[in-house]
Amino acid sequence: MGLKLTKEARIWEHLEQVETKRLKILSESEQLWQFLEEQEPLLLARLEELDKEIEKRRDENIAKLLEELSCLNDMISELEGKCQQPASEFLQAPGNRSAQSCDSWRDQHQLLKREGEEPPSGQFCTDLCVRDVPYSGT
């Protein structure tokens, strides 16, 4: 009978240990849920801020690209018009509007560099901005 009591005592001891561990796990689980519930609105607010910042940068980039596109379209139109001129007039026209457009483009390009922004690839524009090249006629 003493052996039976010892076994029952061990069983109750193990059951108590299991119950204690179960309660500890439940407590930790509830603490984790509470932490997650507290973090959710903070993380959602941060996500909204990031979305707004991305949208703002996208709009700024679109505006810059549209401005560049407009400049390039103006330059193309001007060059197309000049192509209709006789060669002698086209090659001897110093101080034309293309030069002004190029100066404006270069100024904007330098301003972006000073502000720490990466200017757009401008090899095309720089290639078009060769001006006041004397025509030797040869």
Domain boundaries, the chain: 37-128
Length of the chain: 138
Rounded-to-integer distance, Cα 132 and Cα 136, Å: 12
pLDDT in tens, 27-53: 999 999 999 999 999 999 999 999 999
Q: Is 105 exposed, middle or buried (0-12, 13-18, 19+ CB in 10 A)?
A: buried
What is the value of pTM for the model shown?
Answer: 0.48
| 3-class DSSP assignment, residue 10 | helix
The values of phi and psi at residue 83, to 5°, are -65, -20
Contacts of 101 (CB under 8 A, 6+ apart): 71, 74, 75, 78, 129
Structure-model confidence comparison of residues 133 and 106, the more confident one: 106
* Percent of the chain residues past pLDDT 90, beyond the cut: 49
Tens digit of pLDDT for each residue in 53-74? 999 999 999 999 999 999 999 9
- Which whole-number Å values give the CA distances from 53 to 30, 34, 109, 112, in the listed order? 35, 30, 24, 20
